[in-house]
Amino acid sequence: MKAQINHNNKTYNIDLSHPFDISISLRGDNKNPVAWYLEAPKIQPVRQGDFVGKVSEGASTNFNNIQFNPHAHGTHTECVGHITREFHSINEVLKTFFFTAKLISIEPIKKGEDQVITEEQVRSKIQKGEVEAVVIRTLPNYIEKRSRHYSHTNWPYLEESAARYLRVCGVKHLLIDLPSIDREKDEGKLLAHKAFWDHPKNTRMDATITEMIYVPNKVEDGDYILDLQVASFENDAAPSRPVLYKLE
């Protein structure tokens, strides 16, 4: 199904029948990705007295409780409320959902014990005013990202200057296939988060960061329309389902 989207006084042609879902689904077992030293999420039937919310055990419906953390257990989108003393909800700040986007692939550079995405790497891929959203696929891109346990792995991260450059370019929505754009153990500095949101001096309330995505290798680098679908949670972050549509 072909469609035209009018966005910011420009018309874009996309094929709605060929979406690229770049989210990681939540599952209640150890095949679920995990970060931040938590255990796997749980999806279990409700048990109340003799009642078990499972059709195969005699119930009329399947009726599950789900226990998870959006930051640790899969694709999630967060607002600046993730790092502020004041409460801010992703549901409060994200009011539109379609954005021009560019998918870029970057292989982090080794620096000491770390692997980093540098400003120079990002500059070579993105120009000022080019798009509203940037999707970063780190290389190598193994399918194991969909089930990896990240705790204590010192994953790659975005240098502060790279995050600042994206902000200067006017990028409002940053998506990446890692648990965080910052170093796993950084003493709470959160330099990339703060640089991207320009917090606390000129905080960008309408900017978001989406982490723990997975972009299959078959999806080519280039220009897309992003449909950023976020669950309606009153929380600093919520599970999300970003979907890309190739521009025609």
> Has residue 108 been placed in a domain?
yes
pLDDT beyond 90 at 2: no
**Residue 65 corresponds to which amino acid?**
N
**Residue 2 class from Cβ within 10 Å (0-12 exposed, 13-18 middle, 19+ buried)?**
exposed
What does the alpha-carbon distance between residue 77 and residue 91 come to, in Å, rounded to a whole number?
10
| Separation in Å, CA 240 to CA 97, 128, 161, 194 | 11, 27, 27, 22
pLDDT of residue 3: 81
pLDDT beyond 90 at 198: yes
> Has residue 58 been placed in a domain?
no
Query: Total domain count for the chain?
Result: 1
> Has residue 31 been placed in a domain?
no
> pLDDT by residue (tens digit) across 100-144?
999 999 999 999 999 999 999 999 999 999 999 999 999 999 999
> Has residue 179 been placed in a domain?
yes
> pLDDT by residue (tens digit) across 10-44?
899 999 999 999 999 999 999 999 999 999 999 99
pLDDT of residue 1: 79
Q: What CATH number is attached to the domain comprising 135?
A: 3.50.30.50
β-bridge mates for residue 117, sequence order: 158
Here the tokens at position 225 are 């329309």
pLDDT of residue 6: 84
Mean pLDDT of the chain, nearest integer = 97
> Has residue 57 been placed in a domain?
no
| Strand ranges for the chain from DSSP E | 2-7, 10-15, 20-21, 42-45, 47-48, 51-52, 64-67, 76-78, 98-106, 109-111, 114-117, 133-138, 157-158, 173-176, 208-211, 222-230, 237-246
Reduce the DSSP state of residue 196 to 3 states and report it.
Answer: helix
What does the alpha-carbon distance between residue 87 and residue 29 come to, in Å, rounded to a whole number?
31
What does the alpha-carbon distance between residue 18 and residue 29 come to, in Å, rounded to a whole number?
30
Q: What is the pTM of this model?
A: 0.97
pLDDT of residue 123: 98
Domain of residue 80: give its range: 2-23+73-246
> Has residue 32 been placed in a domain?
no
> Has residue 52 been placed in a domain?
no
Q: For the chain, give the percent of residues with pLDDT over 90.
A: 95
pLDDT of residue 37: 98
pLDDT beyond 90 at 5: no
pLDDT beyond 90 at 170: yes
Give the length of the chain: 248
> pLDDT by residue (tens digit) across 37-75?
999 999 999 999 999 999 999 999 999 999 999 999 999
> Has residue 93 been placed in a domain?
yes
Element (H, E) at 121: helix 119-123
